[in-house]
Structure 1
Amino acid sequence: MSCHLALSPADRERKTRRTPLLACSLLLVTALLGSGTAHARAERASPSDAADQARITAVRQLDARVLDLTVSSPAMGTSVPVRVILPRDWYTEPQATFPVLYMLHGGDDDYTSWTRETDIEALAERSDVLVVMPDAGRAGYYSDWRVGRPRWETFHTVELVRLMERDFRANASRAVVGLSMGGFGALNYAAHHPGMFRYVASMSSYVDLDDPAARLSLLLGSRREGTDLKDVWGDPGENADIWRAHNPSAMPAAFRGTTVHLSAGNGAPGPWDANRPRDALLASTLAEAVLPRSTKRFASSLRASGVSTTTHFYAPGTHSWPYWKQELHRIWPAIEMTLESGSAGSGTNLRP
C-alpha cells in the first residue's frame, strides 16, 4: 500500500478526518482485513501453530499514524485492544520493514495510557519506529497464569510479535519499555526470551519478588482488582519455582545481550505533585519510596553478570505520570539509537 498523509499541527490536534485520511484509512483497513491478507493467512494457518492464528478483527484509525486494533487471540481466548503508532515512512515505503518499540502500561490502567498521559505521538513524529501499546489487564502481571488463562506473556511475546511482523512489517530490532507493573513485565519478557529485545527500560517497578515491600505492593494491588495471586503464580511456598521464574532479580544473567535501563524516584513530592489529592499523593509517595533500594541492588547484580546497565535515581519523584513522561524523554534517544543500529534485520519466526 502506498499512501502519503500529511496533516498540519492544527489538524493533528483536532484529529480531523480529511478526505485523504479517509481514503488512506480505507486502503489500510482493506489491507489488514480484506481477503488475501492477514485474515486469509490466519485461516490457512496450521492448527498446530495457534500463535499464527491471532488476527486483527477491527481497525479504528484515530489519526494519520495512530490506530486502535482489535486482536483475536487464541492464547487469551478473547479479543485484546492494541494501540499502534505507525513509523514515519510506513505509507511511503511499502517494502520497508521497521524496528519496534513495545510500551507496557502499569496496573489499574490500560493500552491508552501512554498516549493519554505522555507526548509519545510527538516524540515518534519523525521516527521510523513502530510503536506498539497492547492492553495487559488491570492486574494481569504480564504472565501466563497458572490457572490456564489469561496468557498475557504468550499473547504479547509470541502472537503480537508475529502479528506485527506479518501485517505491519516489523523487523527483529525490538525494544520494550514499561512502568510500574509494566516495567516488571518488560524485565520478565526480556529475561524469558533472550535475544528478543535489544533494549529494555523499567520505570518505577518492583524488581525483586522476595522483597517484602514488593510482596505487599502486589498483595494490595491484586486485592484492589479482585485478583488472587495464587491464580497467577500459585502459592509462594508450594510454587516457589514459578515465583522465582518471574522474579527479575533472581535471573540477572538472563539479561546478557540486552541493554537494561532502570529508574525510580525517592518518593518525595515535587512541584508536579502540588495539586494532587492528599490520599493519591500519599499512596504514590509510599509506592515509590520503597523502590530505589531493591532497584539499586538489582542494577549491581546485572552489572556483576556482565549486563550493560544504565540507571537514573531522581529526587524528588513520586509514583506518577509526570516523572514517567520526563523519563521517557530522557531515554528516547537511547531507544532510537539502539533500535536503528539493529534495524537491518528482518522478521523472525518465533517459537511459543
Structure 2
Amino acid sequence: MGVLLAAALLSTEAHAAEQKPDAVHWPHRVEARLTGVKVIDKRMRDLMVSSPAMGISIPVRVILPASWSENPRATYPVVYMFHGGDDDYTSWTRETDVEALAKNADALIVMPDAGRNGYYSDWFAGNPRWETFHTHELVRLMEKKFRASRTRAVVGLSMGGFGALNYAAHNRGMFRYVASMSSYVDLNDPAVRLELALGTGKEGIDIKDVWGDPVKNADVWRAHNPAAMPGAFRGTHVHLSAGTSEPGPLDKGSASGVLLASVLGEAPLSGQMDRFARSLRSQGVDVTTHLYTPGTHSWPYWQAELHDIWPSVMKSIGR
C-alpha cells in the first residue's frame, strides 16, 4: 500500500476540496514539485521537494493522518513542526515520541528541513529563502498533494520556535496555534545579540547576510523580531515555554560539555518569554506560558513539553 501511495503522489494530484487561493498567504505563485517519496513505515513518509525559491530539493518528513487510507476524499488539518538550528527534519521523530502521540490523530504532521542555522528567514543576501519555501511553496504543495486543509498549527523548538513565531506574525491567520519552546523572542536583547554573534561566527555565517546590518537595516531586523510585533499575533493562540537553565533529573547522564551548553543556551530565554507574554496580553493576544525549573536547553524537556501541549494543539485544529 505504501509503495502504491508513493507512486500515486508522484504521478497524480491527490483529490482535494475546491478552495480559493488565499492572497494573504502567498502574494506570488511559486510552485514546488514533489520529486521523491520514501516509505518509512505505515504512516511516515520522507519527501523530496524541489523548491524554486531555494533552487534545490528539500527533505520533508510527514506523518499521515490515521484515516488517510480509509477516507481518500477527506481533507486534513496540519501541524507543522520546526527543528532547531543545528538539527534537521528527522529530529522530532528521532528525539521524541511524536509518532506515538499522533497514532490516533486525524491530522497531517509535517516536519520540513530548515537548514543548519537557516534562521527561518528569506536572507537579506538573497539566498536561502526558507520562509518562502515553508510558508508558500510547502503549504501549497501539502494542499495539492496531501489534501491538507487550511486549518493549521505550528510547533517549534529553539531556532524553530523563533521561526514559528515569525511565520505566524508575517502570515496573520495562517496558524490557529503557535508553540515556541526554548526560543529567543527579542532580537534586541543583548544576550541574543551576543549569541547570534558567537553562533554565526562559529558556523561561518555573517549575520548581516541574514537580516542586513543591525543599524542600517534596522527595519529588516524589526520585521524579524517577534517582540516588536505583538499585535500581529491577535487571533492566534501563542504558547511560550522555557526552562530557567538549572539542570535537573532529566539531565542525568549528559556529558559535562553538553550540559554546560544546555545551561548557557537556556539561561536568557525564560525572562525574554515572560516579558513577551506580558506584551502579547497587553495587545489582547491569547497566550499561555510554561516557564519551568529545572530546565535546560535539551530534548528531555522538549519531549515533556510536547506531551503537555499536545491536547491543546489537537483541540486548536479541531481534533
1:37 aligns to 2:13 (yes or no): yes
* Structure 1 moving runs of 4+ over 4 Å: none
How far apart in 2 are the matches of 1:186 and 1:219? 22
2:288 to 307, 310, 313: 310
Please tell me whether residue 148 in structure 1 is matched to residue 126 in structure 2.
yes
Identity %: 66
Higher Rg of the two aligned structures: 1
Match of 1:330 among 308, 311, 318: 308
Shift of residue 301, structure 1, vs aligned partner: 0.3
- How many Å separate the matches in 1 of 2:82 and 2:239? 15
Q: Is the 8 A contact 1:199 1:259 kept in 2?
A: yes
| 1:280 has 2:255 as partner | no
Q: Which runs of 5+ in 1 are unaligned?
A: 1-23, 39-47, 342-352
Residue 110 (str. 1) matches residue 88 (str. 2): yes
Residue matched to 2:35: 57
Alignment match, 2:110: 132
Aligned partners of 2:158 and 2:182 also within 8 Å: yes
Cα distance in structure 2, aligned partners of 1:30 and 1:282: 47
Q: Secondary structure at the match of 2:81?
A: strand
Alignment partner of 1:268 is 2:230: no
Letter in 2 for 1:198: R
The count of corresponding residues between Structure 1 and Structure 2 is 307
SS across alignment from 1:164: helix
* Aligned-pair CA distance for 1:89: 0.5
2-side partners of 1:80 and 1:222: how far apart? 22
User: Of residues 146, 160, 176 in structure 1, which corresponds to 2:154?
Assistant: 176
Alignment check: 8 A CA contact 2:6 2:37 kept: yes
What is the Cα deviation at residue 224 of structure 1?
2.2
For the pair 1:82 / 2:87, whether they are aligned, the reply is no
| Structure 2: distance between partners of 1:118 and 1:218 | 27
Instruction: Report the secondary structure of 1:208's partner residue.
Output: coil
Q: Which amino acid aligns with 2:153?
A: A
SS at match of 1:51: coil
Shift, 1:274, TM fit: 1.8
For the 8 Å contact 1:233–1:243, the answer to whether it is kept is yes
Alignment match, 1:14: none
CA offsets 1:290-330 (integer angstroms, 9 cap, x no match): 11111100000000000000000111000000000000000
- The residue identity in structure 2 corresponding to 1:242 is V
Distance in 2 (alpha carbons) for counterparts of 1:106 and 1:148: 22
Query: Offset of 1:37 from its aligned partner?
Result: 3.2
Amino acid at match of 1:113: S
| In structure 2, distance between residues paired with 1:81 and 1:311 | 32
Quote the offset at 1:103 in angstroms. 0.1
TM-aligned CA deviation for residue 219 of structure 1: 1.8
Q: Compute the displacement of 1:50 (Å).
A: 4.9
Q: Distance in 2 between matches of 1:315 and 1:37?
A: 48
Q: Is the 8 A contact 2:3 2:39 kept in 1?
A: no
1:205 to 154, 178, 183: 183
Q: Which amino acid aligns with 2:13?
A: T
Instruction: Give how far 1:49 is off.
Output: 5.8
Q: Deviations over 1:94-114 (max 9, x none)?
A: 000000000000011000000
Report how far residue 168 of structure 1 moved.
Answer: 0.3
Query: Paired residue for 2:235?
Result: 257
Moved more, 274-283 or 201-210: 274-283
Matched-pair contact (CA < 8 Å) for 2:39–2:45: yes
Q: Which TM-score applies when normalising by structure 2?
A: 0.94
Q: Is the 8 A contact 2:122 2:131 kept in 1?
A: yes
